[in-house]
Amino acid sequence: MPARRLRAALAALATTLVLAAGCGATETETPPRPKPVPQEWDLAFRDEFDGSELDTERWTTCYDWNEDGCTNSGNDEKQWYLPGQVSVGDGHLRLDAERRSTRGSDGETYPWRSGMISTGRDDWYGEPRHVFTYGYFEASVRIPSQEGMFPAFWMMPASRFTPPELDIMEFFERTDQVMMYTHWRSPEGDQRERGTFGPVPFPERHHVFGMLWTPDEVSWYVDGVRRFRVTEPERIPHVPMEVLINLAVGVPRSPPPSVDSAVMTVDWVRVWQR
């Protein structure tokens, strides 16, 4: 083999080996910086879900009003959240919704049980695990395809009272259209503004949903592309917030009788801050 071709072959082999060595990112490695993140910001929080169980130093499995499970009664949701519906394995977080009559500690009976995670408290009187004021928030999520599911990746105030609220992604009746919301309080009452993006067959694979939150703007991203932005001062929150990911059921309507289960998976969650 001529010397020039040999050198080219060795260079190609070296490149292949370097790329192969970098495929298995470890906990100490820093993932690539997302495009929307300002250069001077640092990775402040991450979970790659590489273990065999949920990291309870990062997450709890209910809202701050947890008492042997919980729900969001303000939405008239049909599920009771329980820790047994949350699992970690094969590099993913898994939230399982299951049609199974469940008695809640609130005295109500729910036709479904499901899973959620939050960086908030174990109960009303505890301290949140992690709260954030401003940053870039992203998660790689695969939503379920079944009707009647209400998957969401969002943020609520550490004060436990909304608004404000930032919904990084929500899916209601359509699995091919993502909803992005900001909620705020005005003299006229609670207000909200919505952005949408689609149609995209979101259940077919994981997609990266992101949100840039600064004192001057909130911008939403889908797979690295900005799809919605607000800059009006009254619509931008300035309070510490918790991060939540949940698989609710029955908003705006219950699943059809043919649907008995659904699964939502999360590959990773990351937060970048100044």
Beta strands in the chain (DSSP E): 42-47, 79-81, 86-89, 92-103, 109-114, 116-118, 135-142, 149-157, 165-170, 178-186, 189-197, 207-213, 218-222, 225-230, 241-249, 261-273
pLDDT per residue as tens digits for the range 43-91: 999 999 999 999 999 999 999 999 999 999 999 999 999 999 999 999 9
Q: Is residue 46 part of a domain?
A: yes
Residue 10 lies in a domain: no
C-alpha–C-alpha distance, residues 110 and 90, integer Å: 30
**101 occurs within a structural domain:** yes
Domain count, the chain: 1
**Would 20 be classed as within a structural domain?**
no
Considering only CA atoms, give the Rg of the chain.
Answer: 21
Say what the pLDDT of residue 272 is.
98
pLDDT cut 90: percent of the chain above it: 85
Range of the domain at 163: 38-273
Whether residue 204 contacts residue 175, with contact meaning beta carbons closer than 8 Å, is answered with: no
Q: What is the pLDDT, as a whole number, of residue 28?
A: 55
Give the span between the Cα atoms of 95 and 117, in whole angstroms.
Answer: 9
Digit-coded pLDDT (tens) for 199-210 = 999 999 999 999
Is position 2 within any domain? no
Is the residue at 18 inside a domain? no
The pTM assigned to this predicted structure is 0.89
248, 13 in Cβ contact below 8 A?
Answer: no
The reply to whether 79 falls in a domain is: yes
Tokens 């949350």 found at: 86
Q: Tens digits of per-residue pLDDT, 184-229?
A: 999 989 999 999 999 999 999 999 999 999 999 999 999 999 999 9
- Quick one: average pLDDT of 258-270? 98
Q: What is the DSSP string of 242-267?
A: EEEEEEEE-SSSPPPTT--EEEEEEE
Asked, for residue 174, whether it belongs to a domain, the answer is yes
Q: Could you tell me the CATH number of the domain that includes residue 196?
A: 2.60.120.200
